[in-house]
Amino acid sequence: MAKKSDKFRIAALGDIHVRQSDKGKWTDYFKAVSEKADVFLLCGDLTDTGHAAEAEVLARELASCSIPVVGVLGNHDFDKNEQEAIKSALVSDRVHILDGDSVVIGHVGFAGVKGFCGGFDKCMIPMFGEGKMKEFVQEGVDESLKLDRALARLDSENADIRKIAVLHYAPIKDTVMGEPEQIFPFLGSSRLAEPIVRRQVVAAFHGHAHAGTLEGKMASGTRVFNVAKVVLQKAGFDPPFFLFEV
């Protein structure tokens, strides 16, 4: 299908929270995305309550999406410990659910992880104190390392590839602004920003912060977009998806 631009167009959306009652709700939406973009990013919280049955509904709805889909899971998708079944329900030859993995589509490489909490900049929670606190921090470190390895694999495949990071949790504070400051440590972590900067990622997309801000920028110049569905709707996107050209 011909697109409206010669450039590679990325559509992105997070926090769709699909329910079992959503049968038929997303068909026209996914058709509309397919007409505007070359690839569609889903930035976590694909299900509402973390049940695999919700992912099965989403998988059937995605049949109307005629372009490749690249996604990550979010915290909601882990709530019932059915994350592996959710992933299995969604993955196909056209749908890629990343967890420390990467995929190349056209001249663009996508690396994805869920990410985790931890806070931002000088307010990051340190690896100190009780064992449970260290485990909490270690989870964020591990997610950052997974992202770094996925980006490194893209570099090894093609040094000239344009790299995109797909996340659920935020890598910078700018795009969670609007949320209560008290919960910033639970919305993302600057640890995710480290590999994004080091590997010269063009742009990063995330969700999770429903009351956050659409766009921010790292000191390196990397653009970061909070594409949570509610954020896009508040910004006037109808239908709610964000388009980015590479």
For residue range 20-56, what is the model confidence (pLDDT) as tens digits? 999 999 999 999 999 999 999 999 999 999 999 999 9
* Model pLDDT, residue 157: 81
Exposure pattern of 57-90 as b/e (b: 16+ CB <10 Å)?
A: bbbebbebbebbbbbbbbbbbbeeebbebbbebb
Angle of CA points 198, 201, 202, to nearest 5°: 145
* Model pLDDT, residue 2: 40
d(CA 126, CA 142): 14
pTM: 0.96
Backbone angles phi, psi at 121, to 5 degrees: 55, -130
pLDDT, tens digit, 9 for 90 and up, residues 134-177: 999 999 999 999 999 999 999 988 778 999 999 999 999 999 99
Q: What is the mean pLDDT of residues 113-121?
A: 98
Contacts of 14 (CB under 8 A, 6+ apart): 42, 43, 44, 45, 74, 168, 205, 206, 207, 208, 226, 227, 228, 229
Identify the bridge partners of residue 18 per DSSP, sorted by sequence position. 47
The CATH number of 9-245 is 3.60.21.10
| Residue 1: band (very low, low, confident or very high) from pLDDT cuts 50, 70, 90 | very low
* Model pLDDT, residue 70: 98
The residue extents of the domains of the chain are: 9-245
